[in-house]
Amino acid sequence: MKENPMRNIRIAKVTVNIGIGEPGDKLKKAHQLLETMTGRKAVFTKTMKRSTFGTPKGREIGTKITLRGEIAKAFLKRALASKENKVKSTSVSDGNFALGIKEHIEIPGTKYDSKIGIFGMDVCVTLERPGYRISRKKLSKPIGQPHRITREETSQFIKTNLGAVVE
């Protein structure tokens, strides 16, 4: 029997985030690091509202970059290699999983630059099936329950397509 191509799971995007917590030179170095590691343009993340810690609204506190396609898959393979191809089961949810990297120099192919320093980062992966674009349209319709990606399907995708182990 032929498999339904609309049931195939693929990587929608890989988001790499470095949170600093304050604007300044350290944030600019983290921004530069993301751009050199990925070869793409990074953006700054800002505070959305006044917090209990007294950080003003609109202040830049971090940097992130979104990767798609083959570039995303290549970066994800390198990030998984730095974690010994293991993903914690608590980091896997319905159609998403995340990795925390303590030092960016753990990623294969990344060299230490004394001008930049060492930064940790979060790598978040979003999975989707063909047809998910409907939910992002202006007049969107909800995605049906059978078409959504479950936690078990996410774990299976990590094992088969990325060659990693979910522990």
pLDDT score at 138: 82
> Which H or E run contains 151?
helix 151-162
Average pLDDT by stretches of 10, the chain with 167 residues? 88 95 91 92 87 74 95 94 94 94 91 90 95 84 88 95 92
pLDDT score at 18: 95
Which CATH class, in words, describes the domain spanning 5-166? Answer: alpha beta
pLDDT score at 153: 95
- The CA distance from 69 to 14, in Å, is 9
pLDDT score at 140: 76
pLDDT score at 52: 53
Burial label for 60, CB within 10 Å (0-12, 13-18, 19+), is middle
Residue boundaries of the structural domains of the chain: 5-166
